[in-house]
Amino acid sequence: MPRISRLLVANRGEIARRIFRTCREMGIGTVAVYAEPDRHSPFVREADIAIALDGTTSAETYLNIFKVVSAARRAGADAIHPGYGFLSENAEFARAVIDAGLTWVGPHIEAIAAMGDKLTAKRRLALAGVPMLPSVDCTGLSASELAAKAIEIGYPVLVKASGGGGGRGMRVVKDEAGLTSAVTGAKREAKSAFGNDTVFLERYLELSRHVEVQVFGDKHGNVAHCFERECSIQRRHQKIIEEAPSPAVDPDLRRRMGEAAVAAAFAIGYDNAGTVEFLLDEPGTFYFLEMNTRLQVEHPVTEAITGLDLVREQIRVAEGHELSFTQEELRINGHAIEARLYAEDPEKNFFPVSGRVERFEPDPRTTIRVDSGVESGSEVSIYFDPMLAKLIAHGPTREEAALRLAGAMERLRVPGVTTNRDFLANTLHHPGFLAGDTTTAFIETHAPARRRVVPPQELAFALLAAALHGAEKRKAVQKVLTTLPSGWRNNRSAPETVSYEFQGETIAVGYAAERDGRLRCSVGETAHLVRKVELAGEHVTLEVDEVARTGVVTREGDRVWVQTSAGEVSLRELPRFPEATLQTLAGGYTAPMPGKVISVHVATGKAVKAGDLLLILEAMKMEHRITAAADGRVAELRVAEGAQVEAGQVLLVMEGG
């Protein structure tokens, strides 16, 4: 029976830190591997040993089997845990680990290979009695044959990559007009992401729920399920909020889904942590979606309701131990919800962004679990997935868990890079979510606000806090803020004025001391009276119009963020005097972020209509379609297929039609 003494995690970010945490508790040494953009990341520092993989991109580093296995040998590791993503479901990698004499913390190679191809998995598990949606392999089919198969399945259909996941290589097609281009795009994306361009068509359930069952097997023939998780809240077919148990699953359905998941695991002799994913339709009928032969991002919600440490179970099973629990011993304790914090802009269709996390500070007063890949000062790279952290709340009821998590989101201090934090809080507060109406079409159906609506009183506080904090930073506040309560001057001072931009609006803030020691202030056209001012570093307490609030101010250049218990207010301080500005290029289309041009669909002189596809840019593991904003003609094409571009670089220039 192999005993693991030093474990290498072939991954990065929060999952590496999560696995290291359990290793420390078990007395197991840890090894990190890292790409150059991750050199200063927390997971690298937290490992006992860290080895550079000599490269920048995923392909050069975390996806390079030879480099990862060589790093394990150099570090004296005797086991490798793949985490999720990257090589975690790669049978070739598992074989290389085992051939190197190392312990593989995952299921056996044959199970990975069988489930790694979705088409193969569907065929094999159908024989075990697991219910399936109708589907067809697109390989070798002509356009007319594809159209005929889609009609046979029934629109809408989903084009899916057979060899990957994470929403990549996936397109929803509602009619024949978009079928060929969707298949072509999915094949291209699948080839880029997974090295396999096999795609298939599957019936698309528009009002379904995404419900998955955590299974666990050992090398002694024991298999159990750890109940279900619902992962229906998604954008771009990627999960952002997960919960356990599902609000749509009653005890009978839970039993039936659990039995189907265990049957799937038995069918392939499964022997570690895995997840059997199902689509659940309105009448309560469920269909197999895929099986993930690894630990899932959302595993913490299962840990919360069962009390298990799933990483510990993975390591013990890899060492040859039996499961530490039986099916009969497991019970559901309360409700848990997880939200994934991403560096992305919800108002721009959740477009991923890069940048610097100025602060990352969860409110210590909130009783939630935070699995984070970043810390204050971390850089969000363009080379990897932009997930920053996962926040997990556990409560006696679903509503309490949701509201606890929403409150923790609102109090989380994460200024700097744009995130989906406010959108997540809005979703958790939404009546539809609290009612359990969580289908995969939740975002489209209920349209939770993409950004937070800031009440006027809170906005006034934030603007005054920013202005007075800025005055303190400039030391100009010394003639104004000296005795309220600890030293305001009792004579009038000249009024000070500063202007801020908030959500596209310019707002002037004025303040001056009165003879009675109070501050007479204005925010825009509204007057306010400030009786109390306390400034302590970044912390600001003001009593504005007899209402006291406390906030934390973060400044970086002309950007100012004010964090309160209700959320964050993002401001830009405007210069007191006009500044020279760069002239923009009329008709220019620029790159929204650094990336690679993977296809160009126009040429110089070509006439286009509004909405026409101009080119496709690949960045942060996604394809971004650049489309025409209006009718016109391509006056100048400045990039070619394969070109690497920087953020803001002009891609092409349009002129009126």
Residues 264 and 179 in one domain: no
**Comparing C-alpha atoms, which of 650, 640, 637, 636 is closest to residue 599?**
640
Which pLDDT score, from 0 to 100, does residue 401 have?
98
32-80 pLDDT, tens digit per residue, is 999 999 999 999 999 999 999 999 999 999 999 999 999 999 999 999 9
DSSP characters over 244-263: ES-TT--HHHHHHHHHHHHH
Residues 479 and 420 in one domain: no
Q: Parallel, antiparallel, or unpaired for β 170-173 and 157-161?
A: antiparallel
Which pLDDT score, from 0 to 100, does residue 225 have?
98
Q: Which residues contact 255 (CB under 8 A, 6 or more apart)?
A: none
489 has a pLDDT exceeding 50: no
Last residue of a domain, one of 426, 446, 466: 446
pLDDT bin (cut points 50, 70, 90) of residue 169 is confident
Which pLDDT score, from 0 to 100, does residue 583 have?
53
Mean pLDDT estimate for the chain: 91
Q: Which two tokens stand for residue 119?
A: 């088409």
Last residue of a domain, one of 513, 546, 573: 573
Q: State phi, psi for 25 to the nearest 5 degrees.
A: -65, -30
586-605 pLDDT, tens digit per residue, is 678 888 777 889 889 999 98
270-282 pLDDT, tens digit per residue, is 999 999 999 999 8
The average pLDDT across 438-463 equals 95
Which pLDDT score, from 0 to 100, does residue 472 have?
80
DSSP state of 477: G
In a domain, 89, yes or no: yes
Bridge partners of 337, per DSSP, are 243, 393
Which pLDDT score, from 0 to 100, does residue 657 have?
57
Q: How many CB atoms lie within 10 A of CB 336?
A: 27
Q: Which two tokens stand for residue 245?
A: 């148990």
Q: 355: exposed, middle or buried (C-beta count within 10 Å: 0-12, 13-18, 19+)?
A: middle
Residues 197 and 321 in one domain: no
The average pLDDT across 116-121 equals 86
338 has a pLDDT exceeding 80: yes
In a domain, 183, yes or no: yes
Q: Are 243 and 301 in contact (CB under 8 A)?
A: yes
The average pLDDT across 550-577 equals 94
Spatial distance between the Cα atoms of 561 and 450, rounded to a whole number of angstroms: 18
Which pLDDT score, from 0 to 100, does residue 494 have?
65
Residues 311 and 361 in one domain: yes
Residues 173 and 213 in one domain: no
Spatial distance between the Cα atoms of 411 and 31, rounded to a whole number of angstroms: 33
In a domain, 58, yes or no: yes
pTM of structure: 0.87
The average pLDDT across 445-457 equals 95
In a domain, 115, yes or no: no
CA 293 to chain centre: 21
Which pLDDT score, from 0 to 100, does residue 190 have?
79
Structurally, the chain folds into a number of domains equal to 5
Bridge partners of 569, per DSSP, are 562
The average pLDDT across 395-410 equals 98
Q: Is the dihedral of CA 120, 122, 126, 130 positive or negative?
A: positive
620 has a pLDDT exceeding 80: no
Residues 246 and 316 in one domain: yes
Q: Which two tokens stand for residue 40?
A: 């200063």
What CATH number is associated with residue 339?
3.30.470.20
Residues 95 and 223 in one domain: no
What CATH number is associated with residue 169?
3.30.1490.20
- Domain span including residue 563: 456-573
Spatial distance between the Cα atoms of 24 and 315, rounded to a whole number of angstroms: 12
Q: Which residues contact 385 (CB under 8 A, 6 or more apart)?
A: 13, 85, 620, 621
Residues 219 and 173 in one domain: no
Query: Which amino acid does the sequence have at 162?
Result: S
pLDDT bin (cut points 50, 70, 90) of residue 497 is very high
486 has a pLDDT exceeding 80: no
The average pLDDT across 503-524 equals 91
520-540 pLDDT, tens digit per residue, is 999 999 999 998 899 999 999
Q: How many CB atoms lie within 10 A of CB 485?
A: 10
Q: What is the helix, strand, coil percentage profile of the chain, to 5?
A: 30, 30, 40
In a domain, 583, yes or no: no
What CATH number is associated with residue 623?
2.40.50.100
What CATH number is associated with residue 75?
3.40.50.20
The average pLDDT across 23-31 equals 98
Residues 535 and 638 in one domain: no
Which pLDDT score, from 0 to 100, does residue 475 have?
60
Q: Are 606 and 620 in contact (CB under 8 A)?
A: no
What CATH number is associated with residue 482?
3.30.700.30
Query: Which amino acid does the sequence have at 96?
Result: A
252 has a pLDDT exceeding 80: yes
**Comparing C-alpha atoms, which of 283, 241, 278, 207 is closest to residue 445?**
207
CA 89 to chain centre: 20
Which pLDDT score, from 0 to 100, does residue 617 have?
84
The average pLDDT across 313-335 equals 98
Residues of the chain with pLDDT > 70, as a percent, come to: 94
**Comparing C-alpha atoms, which of 210, 238, 434, 440 is closest to residue 335?**
434
Residues 290 and 391 in one domain: yes
Across the beta sheet with 135-137, what order do the strands follow?
Answer: 135-137, 199-203, 157-161, 170-173
Which pLDDT score, from 0 to 100, does residue 513 have?
85
In a domain, 98, yes or no: yes
493 has a pLDDT exceeding 70: no
Residues 234 and 324 in one domain: yes
Q: Which two tokens stand for residue 498?
A: 């500063």
Last residue of a domain, one of 393, 420, 446: 446
Residues 147 and 217 in one domain: no
282-317 pLDDT, tens digit per residue, is 878 999 999 999 999 999 999 999 999 999 999 999
| Segment (H or E) for 411 | helix 398-411
In a domain, 472, yes or no: yes
195 has a pLDDT exceeding 80: no
Spatial distance between the Cα atoms of 426 and 358, rounded to a whole number of angstroms: 23
Q: Which two tokens stand for residue 255?
A: 């039993």
In a domain, 129, yes or no: no
632 has a pLDDT exceeding 80: yes
